[in-house]
Amino acid sequence: MKYVSTRGEAPSLSFEDVVLTGLASDGGLYVPESLPSFSQEEIASWAGLSYRDLALKIITPFVAGEIPEQDLKTIIDKSYDTFRHDAIAPLVQTGHNEWILELFQGPTLAFKDFALQFLGHLLDYVLKKRDQKVVIMGATSGDTGSAAIEGCRDCDNVDIFILHPHQRVSDVQRRQMTTVLENNVHNIALKGNFDDCQNMVKASFADQSFLPQGRQLVAVNSINWARIMAQIVYYFYASLALGGPHRKVSFSVPTGNFGDIFAGYLAKQMGLPIDQLIVATNSNDILHRCLSENDHSKKPLVHSLSPSMDIMVSSNFERLLFDMYNRDGAAIKQLMEDFKSGSMQLSDDAFNKAQAVFSSYRLDDDEMVEVIREVFESTEYLLDPHTAIGVKAAREKRRDTSTPVVCLATAHPAKFPEAVKKAGQAEDPALPFHMRDLFDREERYEVVEDSLADVHAFMQKNIRA
Ligand SMILES: *Cc1c(COP(=O)(O)O)cnc(C)c1O
């Protein structure tokens, strides 16, 4: 399968090359040239498959001709071996025809493990095959960094450097990263904020001459296509568990960079009968404004109690726009050029198309805290703040209650004790059993000045020969 850039100018690439590339050279994002699609009969025949076997069915066409099925099977099996729950993505009921899809059963307690466990094993496989070594560099405000580190800790051919803002991530989040002591894992606590970390990473991708000969940087944020691809699977899994494809299911998705919900859109395009796709945002609501009133304008970042969704501009939205503009790369290039001014307007046609597929809703912190309280009172089930936003959006935007709605639970509540306490819980939610000793484990990280030269010097010292 070939992959093309959303801005129409960069060369098309193979799957493996796309995995090793960040942004396309024209500034766009890579998407498959055409999507695989499955018939209703074929989807129906997958009822009862394990998560791993279903993943194999869905991912195979995306890597066709490059990764033999047996090798792909091994990669998938290893990726989901680290999940505690036998179902990998279990469903829990919280209301009439309302379900929580628990995507936090992986090693770092957030849904990002689904993609990053897979990406880690995939990179290991591709790099060994090519006898190539790479350097991963990423910035994190919390969840991405720990999931990426867990995914790559055993990759012989990867040195991974994750930058987090010094003293500005929660203790749980920091310790999930800094207690991984493998010698290819490096945590940089940058004396700056998250934007400084991101700028440092951007500048490093733009000029990679500081790397040793023959090395390149690989991106682990959701511009990496393999991450999106791995997330398509759980939409199928949830639907099949609830009677799909013979009946439609709706999904409500707490959204930041538009990666997770975009995977849902792809599942629908590939033939899964999905009724509504609900985009749920916190006060950083550019997506809600865009999808409800065609207002895609930047506003100052608000720090919320759902920090993993504190994003000013969603990078994966460009992948959707590419489809809404009938895959016209030149039009997307122009649109993104316009957006440099801080705002852009979709054409009527593109806006109408997007509205036909997505509903959206936004919640502020106070409303979100009420949802955690409400759901706990009626079910004794404790939501994390991101998931709570999705649950409320589902309740507000559902057209009918005869169609099951699945709310994606993107994190375990123990990762976000502040919100949970505000919702009236007397104590911090307990960490799952395998992590009870997190606060006793040894930590290792380097505090570095907010200086490109200092960061590069640290990396040069630690990249293995
Ligand atoms: C990353 C993250 C999100 C947002 O996901 P996107 O794919 O960026 O939309 C939501 N919730 C949690 C807990 C996250 O870690």
Q: How far is the CA of 387 from the centre of ligand 1 (A)?
A: 10
Distance CA 24, CA 456 (A): 23
Which atom in ligand 1 lies closest to the alpha carbon of residue 255? 9
Q: What is the mean predicted confidence (pLDDT) over 318-336?
A: 97
Q: Is 43 domain-assigned?
A: no
Q: What is the pLDDT of residue 405?
A: 98
Residue 6 placed within a domain = no
Please tell me the total count of domains within the chain.
1
292: in domain: yes
Kindly report which listed range (18-27, 80-89, 121-130) carries the lowest average pLDDT score: 18-27
pLDDT at 324 over 80: yes
- Residue 415 CA: nearest ligand 1 atom is 13
pLDDT digits (tens, 9 = 90+) for 383-402: 999 999 999 999 999 999 99
Asked, for residue 378, whether it belongs to a domain, the answer is yes
Say which of 2, 73, 78, 112 is annotated catalytic.
Answer: 112
Taking alpha carbons only, the member of 373, 389, 386 closest to residue 421 is 373
Catalytic annotation on 461? no
Residue 393, in any domain of the structure: yes
Indicate whether 310 belongs to any domain: yes
Note whether 345 and 294 are within 8 A (CB).
yes
Cα of 384 from ligand 1 centre, angstroms: 12
pLDDT band for 278, please (50, 70, 90 cuts): very high
* Top mutation candidate among 108, 260, 415 for ligand 1, by most atoms within 8 Å of CB: 260
250 found inside a domain: yes
**CA 152 and chain centroid, separation:** 16
CATH number at residue 255: 3.40.50.1100
Pick from 23, 29, 24, 1: nearest CA to 11: 24
Calculate what percentage of the chain has a pLDDT beyond 90.
Answer: 90
Residue 274: both structure tokens together: 């999905």
Look at ligand 1, atom 8, and give the residue with the nearest C-alpha: 257
In a domain, 2, yes or no: no
Residues whose CB is less than 8 angstroms from the CB of residue 152 and which lie 6 or more positions away in sequence, other chains included: 116, 120, 123, 136, 158, 160, 184, 185, 220
Q: Give which of 83, 74, 160, 81 is closest to 125, Cα–Cα.
A: 74
- Distance in Å, CA 410 to ligand 1 centroid: 6
Q: Which domain holds residue 247?
A: 84-110+225-422
CA of 70 to the centre of ligand 1 (A): 31
Ligand 1: which residues within 6 Å by Cβ? Answer: 110, 112, 143, 222, 254-260, 308-309, 386, 410-411
